[in-house]
Amino acid sequence: MVTPKNFIEFKVTDKQWDLAKKVGMARFNTKNHYGSTRNLSKINTHVCGATAEVVFGEWQNFDLDTSIHKTKGDKFDFISRRGETTDVKHSTFGGADIELKEKVENVKAGKLKDIYVLCRAIVTGQRVTDVWVIGWISQANFLVEENKREPYVANNPEYPWNYVVGLDKLQPFEGKQYGVEVTEDFLAGIGV
């Protein structure tokens, strides 16, 4: 079970921020034809997501997928050391009831990933300053009927059906669960 003690916090460097802005804005400019007006943070949600991907990818020594997809959703963000497709999701929400979500329509379209990761993007002014790597869950434990939740607003494409889990169902990044051994020395080395 994930608790605040399990979060791994990273300060976003200027280099990471510059790359995330470039990738995030390219995604926004390509995908915004869907007409979405939802933007829950002070900055574009694509930039927040790209920042989480950049930080997570550097931490795990994964190459960032900078390709831009013209359809909703991509195939995956990364492939783990064990060959698992991985999708990094972000939230700017800071409460204890932060959730990991995946749209049911993406699952029906076959856009499945083996591992789903939840990060929190901390926004200060017009910049993501920190990323918390919160936890992960396997497809087998996430994409099940009991986790399916109807939209908050019925018949509105801005609020689709989602698979949703909270902190209680996420696994922390510790031990060797995800290809990196998180020890006290490792945490001290990354400033946690």
Q: pLDDT per residue over 71-121, tens digit each?
A: 555 578 888 778 888 999 999 887 778 899 998 988 888 888 999 999 999
SS3 at position 13: coil
Q: Is 97 helix (H, G, I), strand (E, B) or coil?
A: coil
- Are the C-beta atoms of 141 and 176 separated by less than 8 Å? no
| Residue 159 φ/ψ, nearest 5 degrees | -125, 80
Domain boundaries, the chain: 4-189
Q: Which two tokens stand for residue 136?
A: 């992960």
Region for 60 from its dihedrals, namely left if φ exceeds 0, alpha if ψ lies in -120 to 50, beta otherwise:
alpha
In whole angstroms, give the CA distance from residue 153 to residue 89. 22
Strand 127-138 and strand 8-11: the pairing is antiparallel
pLDDT 10s digits, 1-58: 555 567 888 999 999 999 999 988 888 877 654 444 444 444 688 899 999 999 999 9
Token pair for 132: 């918390």
Residue 117's CB: how many other CB atoms inside 10 A? 27
- Prediction pTM value: 0.80
Is there a contact between 78 and 60 (Cβ–Cβ < 8 Å)? Answer: yes
